[in-house]
Amino acid sequence: MVNSPATKNQYTPRTVSHPGVTLSAKIQEMGMSIREFALRTAKPEKTILAVIRGDSSITADMAVIFENVTMIPAHFWIARQRNYDEFLAQSRMAKRIETSSAWADSFPAELMVKYGWIQPFTDLSSKTKSLLRFFAVTSADAWENYYINQQLKVAFRISLRSTSNPYAISAWLRQGDRQATAIVLSEKYSDKKLRQYILNMKRLMVNKPDNWSVQLQELCALCGIKLVYTQSLPEAPINGATRWLASRYPCIQMSCDEKRYDTFWFSFFHEIGHILLHGKKDFFLENIDYDNKENDKEMEADNFSANLLLSQSQEKQIVSTGDFSAESIMKYAESFGTHPLIIIGRLRYLHLVSEDYYTRFLELVS
């Protein structure tokens, strides 16, 4: 991969000396002893010695005083100290990058570059830098404290420790956060509006216009919900996630390349169920080992979605006939106000039709 324009021409000096080195040379040049210089500046001799040894910094007050004795402008001393402090900070950061290299190798970084999530990189060091910037953290430990050790539970109440791939999943979630941040809503979240627009969302599912995904985002925005579509990562096969941003806006993050139409809509209304039924501090994500209380919430959201798409009585009516022909499925869908793929997907879930049948049906209605 090639260097990004932002880093191609950067120059980072290998070493920067403490300004005390320059001060020591200047004192010698003036033919003064350290004691005399201390007397002339009205500073304790031990303070001057500490600066010369590099144990203390030159403050703005000291820089102004030094200017009167050395005839070197105060801004020179301030700039020398600032450059040295920055060098030390960059050195510490370089060490953190070095110790985070194994962590960086755990992410699908090449795919993240392809998606435009992180900057291109040429080596392990630049890859680590790109990933740290993407997650807005300064080290692998900081990432782990956020996503694994739950040290910020108000924003992230679950640990990814028990998931199949916490690295890929955290990347998918982080990109969703970045997308949601870019969305500015004019409406505050409203339960009343959401319940009002749910039928509009369902009609959108049934009619499936070419720009249905955009229209769905617009309907969510009218309710004060941020809906984002994020490219899926093979190591993180997630259909959706729900969380509240700063306890103000609910955010629904959906995989934007879901090939199964019925799965997308079941997952979407599942997330809607979480927003309507559960608390602002809850965070819901697939492939998590929840406790019993959280599992109950997952079942509640499942039931909310399933009944909205195809009620139990409607499901029983279809199953009781045993007629799963394409013609019958289309008639049922029209009669029940749902999409044919919702019905065939439910039948597939109940093991009443095969995956091949679903695929052939998908080609028929696409």
Query: Under CATH, which architecture does the 191-309 domain have?
Result: Orthogonal Bundle (1.10)
Taking 50 as the threshold, does the pLDDT of residue 4 lie above it? no
Instruction: Give the right CATH number for 19-99 from 3.40.50.970, 1.10.260.40, 2.40.160.20, 3.40.50.300.
Output: 1.10.260.40
279-316 b/e (C-beta count within 10 Å ≥ 16 → b): eeebbbbbebeeeeebeebbebbeebbbebbbeeebbe
CB-based contact 342:208 (threshold 8 Å): no
Q: What is the pTM of this model?
A: 0.79
Q: What is the pLDDT of residue 96?
A: 86
Mean pLDDT of 192-214: 94
Mean pLDDT of 97-124: 93
Distances (CA, A) of 85 to 14, 48, 58, 59, 80: 14, 18, 11, 12, 9
Nearest Cα neighbor of 24 from 35, 34, 39 is 34
Which residues are CB-contacts of 239 (< 8 A; sequence separation ≥ 6)? 254, 255, 258, 263, 264, 267, 286
Q: What is the pLDDT of residues 70-82, one digit of tens each?
A: 999 999 999 999 9
> Could you count the other beta carbons within 10 Å of the beta carbon of residue 250?
24
Q: What is the dihedral of CA 264, 310, 217, 113, to 10 degrees?
A: -10
Half-sphere exposure of 51 (CA within 13 A, CB side): 24
CB-based contact 347:322 (threshold 8 Å): no
217 vs 204: CA distance, rounded Å = 11
Taking 70 as the threshold, does the pLDDT of residue 184 lie above it? yes
Give 29 or 234, the one with higher predicted confidence. 29
Diameter over CA atoms, the chain: 107
Nearest 5°: CA angle at 169, between 98 and 286? 155
Q: What is the pLDDT of residues 122-155, one digit of tens each?
A: 999 999 999 999 999 989 999 998 888 864 444 4
Beta strands (DSSP E) in the chain are 226-230, 240-245, 249-255, 284-285
Residue with tokens 């500015």: 184
Q: Where are the domains of the chain?
A: 19-99, 104-181, 191-309, 312-365
